[in-house]
């Protein structure tokens, strides 16, 4: 992980698959992703972080079969080919594990057709002990079950049931056996820590080198690491501070977040990012386009395991909205080839290459701490250091040049 730089892809969006559930015709989307591996290598990535690839009803997070590749993305052979081609290029594969909930068409929840219940959740589930009853009943008199954050199509699993822990362990080991290198655990914050503490040691016994990172939005990150056994969690605090401090010309906010970030590094190395599949694109979030470069500099010069969301390296725009289909704008299709990307995006791609190159030449940055040396609303100079190495980084948000101290600087 000391050398890891992820290129994150949301497969169903990247390949232009229909995510409404209306058109689920088979395709070979994973093969299309494999054609972009050389692009990821040129960017400087050392890993491919995939969004959901398993059979689901619509957008990938309403899984119906964790052991089957979604037909819109292909078949087992497509997965094997993607893994082989990635590994040939030195790229690791991170899978997205949705284990807080399943879709209503999952066989553990959906009553089989012909037994007096419509597909998708009528009547009691075939495995009612896998789910959490609310005690209420629906308008049709059938029992009601807990869902994830009010999304009716996402039925929460009963994580206290040992059979659910066995099932998740089997899924994780199955795909690691097949060549995956780790898991991003979706909505890990919603799952009891005790569940992960039961499952993850069993996964590590079979795959001690697997990287296990949990999606955690807020909370006591180090405590979550201790109680779950995860390697890392997503650093949403730093993500928010980066764009917010740039928009408000308030680098005190960023400095404070970096102080907290350095504290986290005493326990674990967070997954860092300035964009992902769940948030408005950085190029749309920032009020001043030239500040995009400042965000990338921070991402590439502070401790963490950086992740670049596909399209951000080309300055893609897109606003997330709280409505049905509100994620579509930040999960678009990629073209068939790099020559079809817009010309205005390539300078940002080259900026990513330069900064990732800096990162790759200084792998000690993975666990580096930062210390502010000069701080105003619009200027921040910080030292980032580890293992007897140091870099000085100066940000200037003002429209004019500024004189900033650089104590001990030897070369630019």
- Give every residue of the chain whose pLDDT is below 70, as ranges: 113-123
The rounded distance, in Å, linking the Cα atoms of 31 and 10 is 14
Clarify whether residues 100 and 120 are in a common domain.
Answer: no
The CATH number given to whatever domain includes residue 222 is 3.20.20.80
Q: Which of 149, 169, 199 is the last residue of a domain?
A: 149
Q: Is residue 391 part of a domain?
A: no
Give the model confidence (pLDDT) of 37-76 as tens digits.
999 999 999 999 999 999 999 999 999 999 999 999 999 9
Clarify whether residues 263 and 286 are in a common domain.
Answer: yes
Q: Is residue 392 part of a domain?
A: no
Clarify whether residues 96 and 213 are in a common domain.
Answer: yes
Clarify whether residues 208 and 354 are in a common domain.
Answer: yes
What HEC string does the chain produce?
CCCCCEEEECHHHHCCCCCCCCCCCCCCHHHHHHCCHHHHHHHCCCEEEECCCEEECCCCCCEEEEEEECCCCCCHHHHHHHHHHHHHCCCEEEEEECCCEEECCCCCCCCCCCCCCCCCCCCCCCCHHHECEEEEECCCCCEEECEECCEEEEEEECCCCHHHHHHHHHHHHHHHHCCCCEEEECCHHHCCHHHHHHHHHHHHHHCCCCEEEECCCCCCHHHHHHHHCCCEEECHHHHHHHHHHHHHCCHHHHHHHHHHHHHHCCCCCCEEECCCCCCCCHHHHCCCHHHHHHHHHHHHHCCCEEEEECCHHHCCCCCCCCCCCCCHHHCCCCCCCHHHCCHHHHHHHHHHHHHHHHHHHCHHHHHCEEEEEEECCCEEEEEEEECCEEEEEEEECCCCCCCCCCCCCCCC
Clarify whether residues 140 and 257 are in a common domain.
Answer: no
The rounded distance, in Å, linking the Cα atoms of 199 and 162 is 10
Q: Which of 90, 121, 149 is the last residue of a domain?
A: 149
Clarify whether residues 138 and 171 are in a common domain.
Answer: no
Clarify whether residues 155 and 140 are in a common domain.
Answer: no
Q: Is residue 393 part of a domain?
A: no
| Number of structural domains the chain divides into | 2
Domain assignment of residue 142, given as a range: 109-149
Q: What is the pLDDT of residue 111?
A: 81
Q: Is residue 401 part of a domain?
A: no
Q: Is residue 406 part of a domain?
A: no
Q: Is residue 377 part of a domain?
A: no
Q: Which of 349, 367, 385 is the last residue of a domain?
A: 367
Clarify whether residues 88 and 181 are in a common domain.
Answer: yes
179-214: burial string, b at 16+ Cβ within 10 Å, e else: ebbbbbbbbbbebebebbebbbebbeeebeebbbbb
Residue 246: which of 402, 395, 354 has the closest Cα?
395
Q: Is residue 253 part of a domain?
A: yes
Q: What is the pLDDT of residue 120?
A: 46
Clarify whether residues 138 and 179 are in a common domain.
Answer: no
Query: Going by C-beta distance under 8 Å and a sequence separation of 6 or more, which residues neighbour residue 141?
Result: none
Clarify whether residues 58 and 133 are in a common domain.
Answer: no
Q: Is residue 384 part of a domain?
A: no
Q: What is the pLDDT of residue 123?
A: 65
Clarify whether residues 60 and 190 are in a common domain.
Answer: yes
Give the predicted TM-score (pTM) of the model.
0.96
Clarify whether residues 17 and 159 are in a common domain.
Answer: yes
């Amino acid at each position: 992980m000391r050398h890891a730089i992820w290129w994150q892809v949301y497969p169903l969006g990247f390949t232009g698959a229909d995510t409404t559930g209306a058109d689920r015709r088979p395709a070979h989307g994973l093969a299309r992703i494999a054609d972009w591996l050389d692009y990821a290598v040129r960017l400087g990535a050392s890993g491919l972080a995939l969004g959901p690839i398993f059979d689901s009803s619509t957008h990938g997070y309403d899984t119906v079969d964790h052991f089957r590749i979604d037909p819109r993305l292909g078949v087992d052979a497509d997965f094997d080919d993607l893994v082989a081609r990635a590994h040939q290029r030195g790229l690791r594969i991170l899978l997205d594990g949705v284990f807080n909930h399943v879709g209503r068409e999952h066989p553990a929840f959906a009553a089989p057709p012909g037994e007096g219940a419509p597909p998708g959740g009528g009547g009691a589930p075939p495995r009612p002990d896998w789910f959490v009853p609310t005690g209420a009943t629906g308008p049709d008199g059938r029992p009601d079950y807990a869902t994830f954050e009010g999304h009716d199509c996402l039925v929460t699993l009963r994580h206290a049931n040992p059979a659910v822990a066995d099932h998740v362990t089997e899924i994780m080991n199955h795909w690691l056996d097949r060549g995956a290198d780790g898991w991003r655990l979706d909505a890990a914050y919603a799952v009891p820590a005790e569940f992960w503490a039961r499952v993850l040691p069993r996964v590590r016994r079979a795959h001690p080198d697997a990287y296990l990172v949990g999606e955690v939005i807020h909370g006591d990150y180090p405590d979550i690491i201790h109680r779950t056994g995860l390697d890392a969690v997503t650093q949403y605090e730093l993500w928010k501070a980066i764009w917010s401090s740039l928009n408000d010309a308030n680098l005190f906010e960023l400095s404070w977040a970096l102080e907290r970030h350095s504290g986290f590094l005493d326990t674990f190395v967070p997954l860092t990012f300035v964009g992902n599949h769940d948030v408005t694109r950085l190029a749309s979030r920032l009020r001043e386009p030239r500040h995009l470069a400042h965000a990338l500099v921070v991402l590439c010069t502070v401790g963490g395991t950086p992740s670049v969301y596909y399209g951000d390296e080309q300055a893609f725009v897109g606003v997330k909205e709280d409505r049905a289909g509100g994620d579509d704008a930040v999960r678009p299709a990629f073209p068939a080839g790099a020559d079809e990307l817009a010309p205005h995006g390539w300078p940002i791609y080259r900026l990513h290459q330069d900064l990732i190159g800096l990162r790759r030449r200084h792998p000690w940055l993975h666990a580096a701490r930062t210390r502010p040396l000069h701080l105003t609303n619009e200027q921040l100079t910080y030292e980032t250091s580890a293992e007897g190495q140091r870099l000085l980084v100066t940000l200037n948000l003002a429209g004019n040049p500024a004189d900033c101290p650089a104590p001990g600087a030897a070369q630019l």
